[in-house]
Amino acid sequence: MKLLYRTSDGVLVSVGTVIADPLPAGLSVHDASPVEDAGLRTGAKQWDPATRTVIDTPGWVDPTLSETNRVTLEDQIRQAMASLQQIIDAPQVTLSTPTFSNIAQAQTAMRTLATETQADLRRLGLAVQTEARNLRRLIRLVANDLSDTT
C-alpha cells in the first residue's frame, strides 16, 4: 500500500496500490510495510503528517475484542502460566507417576526379552553341541571305513 502526501506539509492525499506515474509535482510517496498496512486497515495505525510516518493511533482499542473475549483470553493465559509454574516447581518424580510407570514397563519388557534371548542362545548352543557330536561320529565312521579298505 502506498501513501501519497503533500511534500510541503505532509497532508495525506491518497492511499492505494495504483499511483500516477509520474507523480504530480509536490507529492511524495510512503511505502507502507505489511505491519503498517494491516494497522491502517484496522485503524490501529494512522498517518502522521508532522513526521511523515505511520504511527500508532492514540487510544485505539481493537473493537473486535469484546470484554468477554478479553476476560476469556486473560483466564487462559493465567491457567497456562499456572501450569508452567507447577512444572517448574514440581518435586522429583516418583515411580508412581505415569511417566515412570511407562519406563518401568519398558524395563520389564527389556528384561523379559533378555531372558528369552538367553534361553534362545542356550537352546542354540545345545543344538550346536549335538551337531558337533554327530559330526565327530560321522568322521570316525569314515575313518574306520578308510582303514578297512586299506
Interface residues with another protein (CB under 8 A) are 2, 4, 11-21, 23-24, 27, 41, 43, 46-47
- Nearer to another protein (CB atom), residue 46 or residue 52: 46
CA distance 122 to 134: 19
Instruction: Write out the E strands in 21-139.
Output: 27-31, 45-48, 53-56
- Nearer to another protein (CB atom), residue 41 or residue 70: 41
Shortest spacing between CB 68 and another protein, in angstroms: 19
Contacts of 55 by beta carbon, 8 Å cutoff, 6+ apart: 45, 46, 47, 48
- Nearer to another protein (CB atom), residue 49 or residue 125: 49
Radius of gyration of the chain (CA): 42
Shortest spacing between CB 64 and another protein, in angstroms: 11
- Residue corresponding to grid cell 510407570: 101
- Nearer to another protein (CB atom), residue 58 or residue 91: 58
Shortest spacing between CB 49 and another protein, in angstroms: 8
